[in-house]
Structure 1
């Protein structure tokens, strides 16, 4: 971030423009102040130069107040007809002059207010966040930036889009809600024009986020916006960090080159496909991701640990009573879940999950471990999986690719889609990439029709993934959710008819449709745009977390898993969470939370608890699951 001195005149004008942008109430206030600033001194001059004015100060002040109230009064003089006529004539001249002056001022101010409402004035802020582009992700990004700045004295978020400024403000106020101390600024114009980008003052910004539109050519526009940003900052010696997202991985290299060395580029479709597959393999995992990514709960932080230098990483797992240690940041490389015997170097940073950066305080928790409650024996071996994929879109091949990466021999994916949604060539290409360990079978049918689902033995599948169609040209981006909701309603009917819960993973576009989705409490809902928005907001606050999330959500790396609690502690025993952490350490894993099946129907997050205190005690049951960071 570049700290530069702004001329006092520019600051004063920016402040004046900001007050005028508030509407007619501010205009009336300014008119009253200007009127009093002229009338009161003029009245005082008249009183003090009047030889017949009263001598006491209070009397003269009363005379000033009286003259101020009689300003522009028609026909103030009395006496001879000529005196009265001239008095009225002068009053009429004064009235004509004043009305003309007021008209000119009103016209000028109206033009200025119109320009301000169009969002064409330059933002004069320091360390603010700049959001370029408009999509469903903008509400998530702005909400998280507001939450991140809630404990700061003064923050600002500037949004630039080719939409109307007033419409953007109304949409953000409706969906984001109260912003507290954060100042929300909207500017209107194309994000691909360097001259327009300067309206948001990107040179003095703390971070710049570039959002892809909900249209087919969104990735090309993201690259063009990044090039425009580079052109707008060409004369600057330092540039703010840039976080952008593209949908197609083919554009990632071009976007990275346009963003520069400090830029972070996310592939939204790839990340979404990975999260869908992870949730399909372990139901409830989407709730964990949601908890880790938003600023409302616990999130990732990098903290120094001088007391642990030279000690094994395993000691760090039980050294923070209110935080969960998951890895090391060595230089720019994250080491998630390293072997317990890995030595902590003096320059290493700990990667922890904590409520805030000041809640990660060290203290030994080893005495809380109950070794007699730790379970022994190997985990249950993985078995072949059967997945039912209802629907097809551009992310479906990526989902199939993710499923095949760690598929056991004998695994199968059955695809049910309408003829217009998927072609034989698309399925053949996905099948060719899937390899020999996974069998991909195509079934033609409309997943919104009851007879299509009744022909399938849906309860025989380990997971059911419901995808919406790609929006057709001219169709609204969130229209595919309509078909998805119909499919979910039919699946819910099958659940009620059989009395058995289906392991459903649903992809939705609009987060508002989550409340409408007829799903069981344990079903996973992936809001693709919201997850990417949460990721961008997290990385915007700490760019070093980009490498952490890249590893965490990769297909072959270390990620978040859910294991049966019986792998770690004996069922029926009451023990502390520190005991679970110690048991996970013995298995080469980092325990970060749990999911209680008993409380799932009654708790808000169906039973998921991330980063509980090490001292928390509970009775573990056979249906509980432990959330760990580990390799598969």
Structure 2
């Protein structure tokens, strides 16, 4: 059989590739031939077309040599062979020197740029915020820090995580957006290495925030990071305030010991469970929490007011026309909503909700109160509640415990989940301390199947809580949201079929999925990671707020409540908000806002108004609610 002949083009290409494979010498040779193949003919054309060119062939060749030498920097001398050779040699040496110098400079610049892209240079800042770790919370934390630093002339936020620096910068730029005057600095490396932590200059930082990542060992990683931070700051003098978050309360003590005396440790799962239960008991309360935690609106401030020294705390409630007083700080002790007869000392700090720290100014608002419009009847009594819990995850036992703490006799919780999600033993353990006030019952079923929900009389429950499964180790963190969205879609179908709205409280992992959720605009959605990020950002600006939020979000203490407006003012009456504040004071509460039923589905805040002016007048309806700080 005759052998197939290889085309000439393929053989030529193969020979050329083989010569290049020999290394740099072959590449230099080919570059030289290519240059000569272009420069020599071009020089000859210039000489032969020049009217003033010499007539002799040797003289013309010499001129071609001159042009070639000038173009290729080869000297171009035309004398004895020795002089020509030396000229070319000197030109080659000069070319080698320049090429080497350019190569060295290029290599050095490339290495420096590569190092900068890797994020391995030390941050030289003073009073900056350091964020250690990477999770979905980082976008919330950075966004809130940028908002808090909006009025600062020079502010910086340094983020250290074991990720590519360029990827972090692109992600923050996409999700955070413009940062104004704040400088955003990213550094790459493990947060558990003390030597790497020094890249962020934590010794000169104003605050250090440690974020848990999305892996199962997140809490252990937080503790290890705190230990590395302590090692990096050893011998550096005063340590900056530290704010960290763990998921499991079993790690809180270890994290507190690692963070040191000034550290604040948040339990993300416990906080999320408390907020879910509070929203389930009073729909719309999650919107109030969002307003209080977001730097974009009114927030908490501690202010000194010596002019009120010696007067009862109740007088302070009507002493600020554009701020809401909710408590005071006596030394390191927080007094949230103390009795109105509590005397105020000169060194006490008032805890107020205000637009900014300079917008709280004194002015007596007592004359605005219209006592004729105040309601005098008893408060609306609490009654037993029935809660439907769809789904089960690691926060479900905490939710059951929070429901138990404030349950009225006869209250019940029905749990619907698959056998793989929860067992009767897990439910019985969660219900171990429920006593007679709360009954917990498990029903097996797939909450993503229509027949499961149709078997339930969902409209008979006071609230419906939808939880996602705990993600598997090999799944993305937001995978549970997929099942949650399916369940919400089925609940929406039941609402449309019956024409009755369900009081649904939804837990989501990714804030981006909120826009996909088939729920009403003002529905309660708890984004646990985002709320923890908001909390961390608030506490990073004032560590005393940790005690404030701990009390506000507790099940048994003084917290934020939504009450019927008819408990405070007569329906149909137009009266200033000062009247509501005075009526709440009579009940031992601090009124801080309201929710308008008529605006619940039209305004961006869904009817929630925090810290309205005392002089603001409005007509109160039966469906309106008042936001107060008080006990049940």
Normalised by the shorter chain, which TM-score bucket?
0.7 to 0.9
* Residue in 2 that maps onto 1:4: none
Runs of 4+ in 1 over 6 A off after TM superposition: 72-89
Distance of 1:378 and 1:84 partners within structure 2: 113
Distance of 1:541 and 1:622 partners within structure 2: 39
Verify the 8 A CA contact 1:597 1:607 in the aligned structure 2.
Answer: yes
- Number of matched residues? 561
How far off is 1:75 after superposition? 6.5
Verify the 8 A CA contact 1:501 1:520 in the aligned structure 2.
Answer: no
* Residue in 2 that maps onto 1:312: 312
Structure-2 change in CA distance of 1:113 and 1:589 (3 Å): same
Determine if the alignment matches structure 1 residue 472 to structure 2 residue 472: yes
Q: Deviations over 1:233-273 (max 9, x none)?
A: 11112100000000000110110011000000000000000
Residues 233-272 of structure 1 mapped to structure 2, 5 A cutoff:
233-272=233-272
How far off is 1:109 after superposition? 1.1
What SS does the aligned partner of 1:432 have? coil
* Residue in 1 that maps onto 2:55: none
How far off is 1:521 after superposition? 2.5
Verify the 8 A CA contact 1:73 1:91 in the aligned structure 2.
Answer: no
Q: Deviations over 1:457-489 (max 9, x none)?
A: 101000000000000121111100000000000
* Residue in 2 that maps onto 1:498: 498
Distance of 2:87 and 2:537 partners within structure 1: 68
How far off is 1:81 after superposition? 6.4
How far off is 1:362 after superposition? 1.1
Determine if the alignment matches structure 1 residue 105 to structure 2 residue 108: no
* Residue in 2 that maps onto 1:202: 202
* Residue in 2 that maps onto 1:383: 383
How far off is 1:290 after superposition? 0.4
CA RMSD of aligned residues (A): 1.7
How far off is 1:95 after superposition? 3.8
Distance of 1:162 and 1:92 partners within structure 2: 48
Verify the 8 A CA contact 2:328 2:349 in the aligned structure 1.
Answer: yes
Verify the 8 A CA contact 1:325 1:350 in the aligned structure 2.
Answer: yes
Determine if the alignment matches structure 1 residue 625 to structure 2 residue 631: no
Q: TM-score, normalised by structure 2?
A: 0.86
Distance of 2:403 and 2:204 partners within structure 1: 44
Distance of 1:265 and 1:309 partners within structure 2: 34
What SS does the aligned partner of 1:191 have? coil
* Residue in 2 that maps onto 1:159: 159
What are structure 1's unaligned runs of at least 5 residues? 1-71
Residues 438-477 of structure 1 mapped to structure 2, 5 A cutoff:
438-477=438-477
What SS does the aligned partner of 1:350 have? strand
Determine if the alignment matches structure 1 residue 414 to structure 2 residue 411: no
* Residue in 2 that maps onto 1:36: none
Residues 504-515 of structure 1 mapped to structure 2, 5 A cutoff:
504-515=504-515
Distance of 1:522 and 1:611 partners within structure 2: 19
Distance of 1:209 and 1:169 partners within structure 2: 18
* Residue in 2 that maps onto 1:398: 398
How far off is 1:86 after superposition? 8.3
What SS does the aligned partner of 2:431 have? helix
* Residue in 2 that maps onto 1:299: 299
Distance of 1:365 and 1:81 partners within structure 2: 106
* Residue in 1 that maps onto 2:608: 608
What SS does the aligned partner of 1:606 have? coil
Verify the 8 A CA contact 1:75 1:84 in the aligned structure 2.
Answer: no
Distance of 2:71 and 2:287 partners within structure 1: 71
How far off is 1:89 after superposition? 7.1
How far off is 1:97 after superposition? 2.3
How far off is 1:79 after superposition? 10
Distance of 1:433 and 1:229 partners within structure 2: 39
Structure-2 change in CA distance of 1:430 and 1:89 (3 Å): same
Verify the 8 A CA contact 1:74 1:88 in the aligned structure 2.
Answer: no
Residues 579-594 of structure 1 mapped to structure 2, 5 A cutoff:
579-594=579-594
Determine if the alignment matches structure 1 residue 141 to structure 2 residue 141: yes
How far off is 1:575 after superposition? 0.9
How far off is 1:615 after superposition? 1.0
Residues 328-339 of structure 1 mapped to structure 2, 5 A cutoff:
328-339=328-339
Verify the 8 A CA contact 1:323 1:352 in the aligned structure 2.
Answer: yes
* Residue in 2 that maps onto 1:525: 525
Determine if the alignment matches structure 1 residue 215 to structure 2 residue 215: yes
Verify the 8 A CA contact 2:74 2:92 in the aligned structure 1.
Answer: no
Distance of 1:326 and 1:446 partners within structure 2: 45
* Residue in 2 that maps onto 1:341: 341
